[in-house]
Structure 1
Amino acid sequence: MRFSVKTGAPLLAMALALTACGTSGGDDEEASGGGGEAGTCEDVSLGYFGALTGSAANLGINIRNGVELAVDQFNEENADCQVGLEEYDSQGSPDQATGLATQAIGDETVIGIVGPAFSGESETAGPIFAEEGLPTITASATNPTLAENGWDTFQRILGNDASQGPAAASYISDVLQSQSVFVVDDASAYGKGLADIVNEELGDVVVGDDTIQTGQTDFSATVTAIRSSNAEAVFFGGYYAEAGLLVQQMRAGGVEATFVVADGVKDPGFIEAAGDAAEGTIITCPCLPPEESQEFFDAYQEAYDTAPATYSAEAYDAANVFLEGILEGNTDRESLLEWVNDYEGEQTTKTVKFDETGEVENISVWAYKVVNGEIVADQEIETD
């Protein structure tokens, strides 16, 4: 797949109203799956599965809030069909995923999961959900191999790292025009997987690589290796906590290379950790800038007294796919899974339609930049 950077690209059309009320995806007769009576439901819940505490909590809370907003709006519009929301706090750790997935399976009212939020926990929880037929839509887990397991219950509402990785490499080559790049990963399923793709795409331009660990705070050895390589750019695959400390120590060590990261770093926590060293960082993300959907942006701002952040809008869309199905009478796991697998409809970030592996067909990758202490949209990186 070839990528090109497009400056000033036309923005995606936003056709979805704020609630799921009265809408449906695809052909109603095929997609409804033969569930209960349309417009009524009892003891039905969605689940959010991801970090609410721990070092990656900010990313998880962004996602949970998007789900919660969709459920709250739905309940306001549908007095006869009230949907609950259960939360499964994984702390972003695969070690927590087995127990939480088992708990979700045992919660009989839960008929759909938005999540898991991270790739590592998705690898662990995915087989459990698949075996029990509990449909899931992740709004943020981007490791490409998740769609290669044959899980009928797996859906992903954003592009994976097979699109984000080449896009990041394209930006480094075409926009930054870097002739030498150092690649660092955090050894996680997400970070290493993404860094490996970028490394492969850049080829001979890569002058060195290194691996750190999640939770590590001293990066002096890595900084020394980067400085010795004379790299013009550094790509880091990992999350915002380590990224902030790494770039701070890079700048303190005299490394001026452009710092390029991905969606796991697109959070104010990165700037808090890095301070002034964050300035100029490039962040790629298979996510539309949330401010491009003004209705959603305003509703989120009103509900949470803060702007929507990374994957809030994608989580909102994932929840609304489920909620549309519930409104059409799909109030058990089997029929809701059939609904999701057959779904096609307009949501806030894109037209949503999943292929046979669970990947969404309509994807986009954007580059963001830290400017004056804020993460702002830079340009869309388009697939050819």
Structure 2
Amino acid sequence: MDGERASALRQIFVRAIGGVALAALVMGGAAACKQDEGGSGSDTAGAKVCDLKIGFFGALSGADAGLVTPGQQAAKMAINQYNAEHADCKVSLQEYDSQGKPELAGGLATSAVNDAKVVGMVGPAFSGESETANPTFQQAGLPVISQSATRPSLSEQGWKIFHRGVGNDFSQGPAAAAYIKGLNPAKVFVVDDQSAYGAGLADEVKKALGPLVTASDKATDNQQDFSAIVTKVTGSGATALFYGGYTEEASPFLKQLRAGGYKGTFVGGDGIYDANMLSVTGNADVEGAVATCPCAPATEAKGTFVADFQKEYNAAPGVYADVAYDLTKIFLEAIGEGKSTRADIQAFLTSYSKAGAATGVTYKWTDKGELDPAQVRVWAYVAKNGQWAPDKEIPKA
């Protein structure tokens, strides 16, 4: 009889404690809901939604990092400036280092969408990794704006979350071809690295050059010996060569072309428009090489951007730094206006139409996420004395 009574008392005690715990859990959940109800910048719930994150996705290490790290620096600077004015409700930059490799992009994209605090993504920076990551972002409703992924087909996949902050290769390809035609070449040789970006851009250049293209060839990822292609180029009679791809292969290729006696003009797309192409190739071989880019010179950006960047990093802003800065500020503007969910920020982008503080470009997008064609600009840059010197804006076709 005593044992039964003790057992009954224990059950009553457990039920009582369970009831208290359940009540605490319900009240805690209600408090948490109340914390988030008002959204960032709203006082209706008595609290703001803080500690949100903006992602930055691209090659932050590896051979092609020179194309991405200036944008990462600019994004970080934009967030630091925002936090200085919003010390009570800060935003952080969450970095995803893809090393420029599509095979790493899927896992990074999954990590990003599983972090509920990440409400917007600057990038992915390259087209190949975009093809891998964007389906995951689409499924999770995470809005993205790429500062430099230019493959045209990215906007044809039905990804509502996709936005591009620059022109695509339908603009860069013909512009590069127009620049090459201005060199009055006898013949043109075209080489690409078979990447989503490089092959697509080279195809657009070939279309625009037409019969001027005497021959073409393919490089491979991580290729270091280009002797077979060099032999073809030097024997082709081409006085200009277009390379579609990235610095990692373009640099040794150009060095071997010069060693093989090729004197023609080497032209590449924005995949070679970085500091590594200059320093790794060396002044003697890279001098006179040309890079096209759907971007104006970052060193001539508007407002205080150049001075702010120089003060922050003791260096001039590099490729796409001004674009990434503006795109980050668009996400920050949304957060500052109380948009605290991915869906709210996606809706914010859909109707956005304002000029960027650094680029002066009016950012507004078509229903496929393409930048308004009227805002697209393509520039040519020439390697001079170890620097990329702005040559000219290439007129639109």
TM-based fold match above 0.5:
yes
Task: Describe the superposition over 1:251-277 as per-residue Cα deviations: whole angstroms up to 9, x where unpaired.
Answer: 110111100011110111011222111
- 1:326 is aligned to 335
* Other structure's SS at 1:209 match: strand
Matching of residue 109 in structure 1 with residue 117 in structure 2: yes
Alignment deviations for residues 143-194 of structure 1 (CA, whole Å, 9 cap, x no partner): 0000001100000000111100000001111x21213100000111001110
SS across alignment from 1:87: strand
1:183 is aligned to: 190
1:202 to 192, 209, 212: 209
Q: Which amino acid aligns with 1:372?
A: N
The equivalent residue for 1:314 is 323
**Structure 1 residue runs of 4+, over 6 Å off?**
none
Using the alignment, how far apart are the partners of 1:120 and 1:35 within structure 2?
39
Q: Which residue of 1 aligns with 2:6?
A: none
Partner of 1:44: 52
Indicate the SS of the match to 2:68.
helix
Question: Higher Cα Rg: structure 1 or 2?
Answer: 2
The one-letter code of the counterpart of 1:84 is: S
Gaps of 5+ in 2: 1-36, 43-47
Q: Size of the alignment, in residue pairs?
A: 350
C-alpha separation in 2, matches of 1:307 and 1:37: 34
Residue type of the alignment partner of 1:267 = D
Contact 2:55 2:94 in 1 (8 A): yes
Report whether the alignment pairs 1:292 with 2:300.
yes
Question: If each structure's helix is expressed as a fraction of its own residues, which one has the higher value?
Answer: 2
Any idea what SS the aligned residue of 1:326 has?
helix
Give the Cα separation in 2 of the matches to 1:305 and 1:291.
Answer: 13
* Alpha-carbon distance in 2 for matches of 1:178, 1:124: 38
Given candidates 364, 367, 379, the residue that maps to 1:356 is 367
| Whole-angstrom CA distance in 2 between matches of 1:320 and 1:37 | 16
Contact 2:64 2:99 in 1 (8 A): yes
Runs of at least 5 residues in structure 1 that lack an aligned partner in the other structure: 1-33
CA RMSD for the aligned pairs? 1.3
Whose relative contact order is higher, 1 or 2, with alpha carbons under 8 Å and at least 6 apart? 1
* Identity between Structure 1 and Structure 2 (%): 47
Does the Cα contact within 8 Å between 2:119 and 2:342 map onto a contact in 1? yes
**Structure-2 separation of matches of 1:59 and 1:280:** 20
Residue type matched to 1:36 in 2? G
SS at match of 2:235: helix
Greater displacement, 155-164 / 62-71? 62-71
Cα distance in 2 for partners of 1:193, 1:130 equals 23
Give 2:107's match in structure 1, choosing from 99, 103, 106. Answer: 99
Report the Cα distance in structure 2 between the residues aligned to 1:283 and 1:59, rounded to whole angstroms: 12
Q: CA deviation at 1:35?
A: 7.7
SS at match of 1:284: strand
Report the counterpart of residue 379 of structure 1 in structure 2.
392
Q: What TM-score do the two structures reach when normalised by structure 2? A: 0.86
